[in-house]
Amino acid sequence: MTTAPGHVRPVGAGHSFMPLVPTDDTIVSLSRMSGVVSHDAELQQAVIRGGTRLGDIGAPLAERGQALINMPDIDEQSLAGALGTATHGTGASLGCMSSFVEGVQLVTASGDVLECDRQNNPDLFQAARVNLGALGVVTEVRLQNLELYSLKRETTWMPIEEILETAESVADQNRNFEFYYIPFSGMGFQDIHNLTSEPPSSTELMDQNDGAETLMQLRDWLSWSPKVRELVLGSYLKTVAKEVTVAPSWQTYTKERNVRFNEMEYHLPRENALQAFREIKAVVEKSFPEVFFPFEVRFIKSDDIWLSPFYGRETCSIAVHRFFNEDFQPMFKAVEPIMKKYHGRPHWGKLNTMTESEFAGHYPRWNDFKAIRQELDPAGKFLNPYLKNIFNLAAG
């Protein structure tokens, strides 16, 4: 660390949309520092190397009788990269992945190897659980897990109005609940996971990548009439059968996503989110007929991690997407003020235009994080232009 010239930025799988990693100097990848280091059967904890892809954690943990508490919707991310931006799944009673962290080991700008947890270096621990790669290179993470468990996943297509009417109670009554809305269709689907002891099984599953292609084609063919588009899409989606899968938990949370896109996701106080969703839907359907990518809505439990967007509040997140080769700016520019009006905090890894003063207003422990960063890295070795900007530090 001390001999690398210029700035150093740690990279995981490079799956963040925000420029957290880019630097003209040195990029450090831990892709060869992967795997489970040790586990504690009594506490259901495991120490895992920072470079481990989420998709490479499930099987070795299962061999040790453990499973992650929750997962996001893909498993390509590295563990340290996922924690760096407070990556989350869904579940009103479940926190983001960083909230499962019980200990962190990191290598600082001075080359020191620091360990922290709730007792040992507690302030560093609260800063390190969501750190934007700004404190050092996270080499190992101790995770609180659960005893191996199975989930039953049920995917049901419904009119969006029905989903919205029951969303609050469905979120409270099921372990994991999220819903998607297909713009210009009046239809969405809800995805529910609950613990089960049933044996593994599966109905035929729709390929979500093919689904996105079909939605794009329908947009192009029916662009002459939004009403006909809604009629055709809505009528078709009403006929899609319910999907049910029973499998070990780590095989049910994620899907392969091969369709490229740009994404904005804001984490809103739960009580504001459904009203915000309605306004976003109205704006997109009034002004952006070319949009076909679904909106995604998820629920996340509050935590006490300094830079967690879930700090101190029960959260409901809304994500909007644009196909990768389309200009996302006009739509995101129209949607973001609604997210902000309802006090949303952006996902650290997804597209947003928040400034230092806005972040400082949203995060009560903002200055505490900055103080720890300054103490660990006074010369700013781990900074890049984006981080300098949001921490309001001089360029150079």
Ligand X SMILES: Cc1cc2nc3c(=O)[nH]c(=O)nc-3n(C[C@H](O)[C@H](O)[C@H](O)COP(=O)(O)OP(=O)(O)OC[C@H]3O[C@@H](n4cnc5c(N)ncnc54)[C@H](O)[C@@H]3O)c2cc1C
Report if residue 142 touches ligand X, rule: CB under 6 A: no
Residue whose entry in the numeric block shows the structure tokens 């990556």: 87
Residue 9 binds ligand X (CB under 6 A): yes
Q: Which two tokens stand for residue 244?
A: 């049910």
Q: How would you list the strands of the sheet with 36-40, edge to edge?
A: 36-40, 45-49, 137-144, 101-107, 113-117
* Closer residue to ligand X, CB minimum distance, 10 or 294: 10
Compose the 99-128 pattern: x for residues touching ligand X by CB under 6 A, - for all others.
------------------------------
Residue 133 engages ligand X in binding (rule: CB under 6 A): yes
Residue with Cβ nearer ligand X (56 or 230): 56
Nearer to ligand X, 50 or 188 (CB): 50
Of 7, 8, 12, 94, the one binding ligand X (CB under 6 A) is 12
| CA 337 to the chain's CA centroid | 21
15 contacts ligand X (rule: CB under 6 A): yes
End-to-end CA distance of the chain: 19
Residues 253-272 that bind ligand X (CB under 6 A): 257
Binding flag, residue 294, ligand X (CB under 6 A): no
Q: Is residue 309 a contact point for ligand X (CB under 6 A)? A: no
Q: Answer yes or no whether residue 77 interacts with ligand X by CB under 6 A.
A: yes
Choice from 8, 16, 233, 246 touching ligand X (CB under 6 A): 16
Q: Is 384 in the site for ligand X (CB under 6 A)?
A: no
Reading the block at residue 343, the tokens are: 């006090």
Q: At what angle do helices 270-287 and 329-341 cross, to 10 degrees?
A: 150
Which one of the spans 77-85, 146-154, 200-208, 330-338 is the region binding ligand X (CB under 6 A)? Answer: 77-85
Distance CA 245, CA 191 (A): 11
Q: How far is the CB of 39 from ligand X (least distance, A)?
A: 20
Taking CA 320 as the corner, what is the angle to CA 262 and CA 97, rounded to the nearest 5 degrees?
A: 85
Shortest Cβ 346–ligand X spacing (Å)? 11
Q: Out of 58, 81, 309, 380, name the contact with ligand X by CB under 6 A.
A: 81
For residue 48, what are its two tokens? 């895992």
Tokens of 388: 């300098």
CA distances from 335 to 114, 275, 352, 361 (A): 41, 13, 10, 20
Structure token digits, residue 211: 């689904």
Q: How many residues bind ligand X (CB under 6 A)?
A: 31
CA angle 154, 157, 162 (to 5 degrees): 110
> With CB under 6 A as the contact rule, which of the stretches 7-15, 171-179, 355-363, 373-381 interacts with ligand X?
7-15
Region from 3-11, 244-252, 358-366, 368-376 binding ligand X, contact rule CB under 6 A = 3-11
H-helix segments, the chain: 58-63, 79-84, 122-128, 160-173, 208-221, 226-238, 270-287, 329-341, 356-362, 366-376, 385-390
Binder to ligand X among 52, 58, 84, 365 (CB under 6 A)? 84
Under the binding rule (CB under 6 A), the answer on residue 91 touching ligand X is no
Among 123, 120, 121, 116, CA closest to 101: 116
CB 46 within 8 A of CB 101: no
Closer Cβ to ligand X, 44 or 180, answer by number? 180
SS3 166: helix
Distance of alpha carbon 267 from alpha carbon 85, whole angstroms:
13
Query: Is residue 251 part of the contact set for ligand X (CB under 6 A)?
Result: no
Binding positions for ligand X, 341-370, rule CB under 6 A: 347, 349
Contact stretch for ligand X (CB under 6 A) within 34-42, 132-140, 142-150, 355-363: 132-140
Nearer to ligand X, 87 or 150 (CB): 87
CA–CA gap between residue 290 and residue 74 (Å, rounded): 26
Q: Give the binding site for ligand X (CB under 6 A).
A: 9-16, 20-21, 30, 50, 72-74, 77-78, 80-82, 84-85, 87-88, 132-133, 137-138, 257, 347, 349
